[in-house]
Amino acid sequence: MPIIRVDLAERSYEVVVECDELCVASELILAAGLAGRAAIITDATVERLHCRTLTATLAAAGISHSIHVVPPGEASKSLSQAEALCREMAVAGHDRTSFVIALGGGVVGDLAGFVASVFQRGIPYIQIPTTIVSQVDSSVGGKTGVNIPEGKNLVGTFHQPRLVIVDPATLRTLPDREFREGFAEVIKHAAIRDAAMLAELETLDPQSRNVPADLIARNIAIKARIVEDDEHETKGTRALLNFGHTIGHGIEAAVPYGKILHGEAISLGIRAALDLSCSHARLPVADARRILALLERFGLPVVLPEDISTALVLEKLARDKKFAAGKARFVVLTAAGSAHVTTHITREDMEAAIERLRQKP
């Protein structure tokens, strides 16, 4: 059972990775010192697939709970949905002794974590991520948030979970598109911190739903070490996790929610970042091609649809949190596994890179 500790002094916690762990989640919850009432926040799809397993183990352990279901999809990451959940929890009798369980993908994790951070001025929460994106990335690190029309995650908090339970078996229930999108974050981690992982991904069967627990744990460890060094993104280290996200978030925000999934937008953003890394950071073309080939191997998009306006993408990304004093903090690679942040990528550079996304690589 791979266990990754996120060492943040009094906010430290463990990430436990094991198949079929959802069936015994209550043992881990009690071991983490949580014994109050649980508010399970999930979406309608995950409720149907996994909620019964979770509630059975909670009931067996004597942990009382309520269930709060939101519609699936990015549109649920809103202030209005957060308010609705807080009101539901209040009506259900939750108080400062309660804790939240976020059961679902990145949308549920971000939303439930935000609700936990503000309900009763902050209560504990547990992440039980059920997608690759959330298992290898968003469930770890304590970033919570909701979207507003002006951009993604512009309203949020840092609120570390008390425990993260990762069950790779839940990935078997994902639709193909949602399964594939998660590998954008895996490829990102390899690109910025672990070039050796590229070779492992090149041998992995992209059609297999049996994602190795060790591979998930390896990704989580990369995220954990970066978070430990720069919890609140004040040193610049944590910004490395934004490789591909500056332009990727702009693309994601430029279309109606759901038209392009998060990982699909990040794939496009990674291709643009590779382009700019070659021209501005001397990334070897061979390294860029290798990473690009992995995106294509896992069925991720690398060509921007013509109906997505470059001007709108630029408008959306200019409102992103990755800008400081009007300058983009853009992550580039100097080699596979080696990344740094630069403020020397201009709006014109990004505009040209977005336009080149319209051409086949």
Catalytic residue numbers read 121, 143, 185, 223, 233, 238, 242, 245, 249, 262
Structure tokens at 1: 């059972």
Closest CA to 258 of 8, 43, 12: 43
- Taking each helix axis from N to C end, the angle separating 195-203 and 213-229, rounded to the nearest 10 degrees, works out to 160
Q: How many Å apart are CA 32 and CA 162, to the nearest integer?
A: 7
Q: Which of 98, 50, 39, 87 is nearest to 72 (CA)?
A: 50
* Residue 5 neighbours by CB distance under 10 Å: 12
Q: Which two tokens stand for residue 278?
A: 């070659």
How many other CB atoms sit within 10 Å of the CB of residue 97? 12
Question: What are phi and psi for residue 144, nearest 5 degrees?
Answer: -120, 165
Place of tokens 């800008």: 323
Order of strands across the sheet that contains 163-166: 3-6, 13-17, 163-166, 125-129, 99-104, 38-43, 65-70
How far apart (Å, rounded) are the C-alpha atoms in residues 40 and 237?
33
Helix (H) or strand (E) holding 25: helix 25-31
| H or E stretch covering 342 | strand 338-342
